[in-house]
Structure 1
Amino acid sequence: MAKLIVNPTSSSRREISLSRTLVSIGRDPSNDLVLPDAMVSRRHAVIEYRGSQYYLRDCNSSNGSLVNGDRVSERNLRDGDLVAIGTARLLFRDDLHDEEAGAKVVQHPSSPRLVCPSCQAEYRKGDLFCRQCGSALAPSSPPKVICTACGTAVLLPARFCNACGTALPRPAAEEPPREAAPAASAGDAVAPPPSGPAPESPIEVEPENTPGRPSAEKAQALALAPALAPAIVPRERPMRVPRPALVEPWPTEDTHDRSTPPTALASFSRRLGGGALDLLAVAAGLGALVTPVILYWRSRDLGPTPADVPFVPIVLSLTLAPVALALGAFYFIYYWGVRAATPGKRLVGIEVEGDDGAHPIGISRAAVRLLGYALSGVLLGMGFFIVAFGGTALHDRIAGTRVVRRGSGGRGAPPSSKSERGFTPSERERA
């Protein structure tokens, strides 16, 4: 009858008989086999009887179940298998197959006696673990491999399972001795004797080869050629690339005319005078536009109620206010962006240019400069008076412009044609 031996090598060893039903294993007290271990899940695994074999099935435990050192999800159990669940070891014994054999296995008197080194109990050839204490045993049979599909033990050097035909995992081949390569390429020469003890059956080398037929040693070397390890090819050292020499750049011709002195900024007094003249010009123009409307409303008797006021004069008066503001803005934007200077600035000899030397500054930059004007007015004129202390006005900082004196630094009147813009004075003379 099949049974489980719990911890066969410890003093708390106990045996549990397996009936042909389901046996549950876990930490919970409701299981058939309770293992009080923190590494064991509440419902860790079950052993069930199907057909004529017992199967161990893991119940998705946290640490898994191991059979003979391999983690499995389901595996059929054979006599002598060692199951590891947590820190507990369960030795599976199935005496049913021994009883069905019908006869006791009697070894030949000349065969060596197989004894467990731990408990001195005899074991059979092919056992991996002792049937009494569960200790690991040295392999005493040809090497085997377990089929991962059906769990059948297959003798090597088979490449496919005898039961299901599944390809078996190939074990790592041992590296052949390095002395075999020189011996195979020696040809007719006799290999020198090794320094170690002489082998029991030395290979005889024929002194002469039959013409047209390779020697036995060459034939054996050719047969083993595919199994030999590939020759070790030394890696070439990386070639050192010399660093490129530092090449000094060729001196480039200076396109700027060094004889031209830097542009002189306009003084605060000039800017104040030009601004006052522009404000007077704008105020005169807007006054000429708004004065008729003011005189019209002053000459009319509005009456006691708002209903007596005509509708059309009200609409025209309300429309005239944004028109007057638009004309004032057009005055500054046009003269700054297209003519580089308003009439008031031209009278005092100053003009507006970009920080990058753009002349004129363009419509978009002129509009941004006008917004800076309005912001300086909201700040009670503080943006204008920065110039008096040697700084840059607020609207010039916002728009990226500056006010310079006309004719300073070699700059004369604005270029008369579009083709002359962007050239230095020396290039204009050559042209």
Structure 2
Amino acid sequence: MHAIADALRRDAVGGFLLITAAAIALIWANSPAAGLYESIRGFEVGPGALHLNLSIGTWAADGLLAIFFFIVGAELKQEFVHGELRNPRRAMLPIIAAIGGMIVPALIYVAFNATRPETLGGWGIPMATDIAFALAILAVVGRHLPTALRTFLLTLAIVDDLGAIMVIAIFYTDKLNFFALLGALLLLGLFAYLQQGRGIAAALDRSSFPMLIIYVPLAFAIWTFMHESGVHATIAGVAMGLLMRTSVHKGESDSPLHRVEHALRPWSSALALPIFALMSAGVVFSGMGSMITNTVALGIIFGLVGGKLLGIFGGAWLTTKLTRAELNPTLKWIDICGMSILGGIGFTVSLLISELAFPAGTVLDHAKGGVLIASLLATLISAGILMRRSAHYRRHGVPDIAGEPVSKG
């Protein structure tokens, strides 16, 4: 079991499981058994009293994915405190690149649909990068790329997802529950206090059982309030990950961040991400031929593939020229180019925004088809570039990028 858990802590293994589950979903959704797939994905379960009588597809995208986002938030916290992003001049680069990678795709979509006011509401669709799929592809095709590139993508994708969630909350949510949002923020404050190791928190840090009976219900309550607020519930996972303590107190063998990340990562790789992919990737191939001339699909395809390249790569390059920000010396601009195209994988969040932007019908089908085609193109093009770069670095003895656990700090 220890050997299996250690294998699942590697991004390459988790990435393979994620991609396999996504492929199964695509085949299943376009097979004669598609009705069964939709029935399973749409089956509702959960406590109705808490407004959590949700479909299995929603539980996978909002619930299970929050575990993955917790780990991502924890990794980012580690990098900001102890790693690459301690240097503000390097931290600035992926943050500005992420902003460029959101603005340019949206502008490209608007340009394609400027004469069609009824479709302009889809401008948010090409803004999002699917962090789960992007990290999985990077781990599978770029085993020997510098670890700084994964940190760049991780930071960029987190900022991108936070921006996409804000866009959903402001422009695509009919009603925001501020009381539920306040409840989530107050509980996050309690979560942060318990991380400091004072009073009850000190006892929690030294015993795994009290940690389970206090932190697990607290984490679920935070997630529930965030879900009820109308904000995408995965933001709760990111927030808790960023609030985890990275320092080691007296009597501790390692930090709470390392202990929790070490315990959750195998579950994320083996269950959370594959189930999420299985329930989210089942896009039906319908009307693909008509999308060649459809402005919604073209705006999304060019926005995700070309817009992400221009926005991320261009934003990063201009930032180094106009400010004191700098690129990590282990990276080359061709690496950033490949990673920028990889940012065009907009799968899950883009599909979510599509459903919020358009009612069921032909336009929605074109939007989903555009997301699927763009994500496939971004995967193939970036994989071609990054595999060549990985081979180059392997010849020069660069350490393996794929899936080292978070250091103890």
Bin of the TM-score, shorter chain as denominator length = under 0.3
Q: TM-score, normalised by structure 2?
A: 0.18
Higher strand proportion: 1
Q: TM-score, normalised by structure 1?
A: 0.18
Comparing both chains, which one has the higher relative contact order based on Cα–Cα distances under 8 Å and sequence gaps of 6 or more?
A: 2
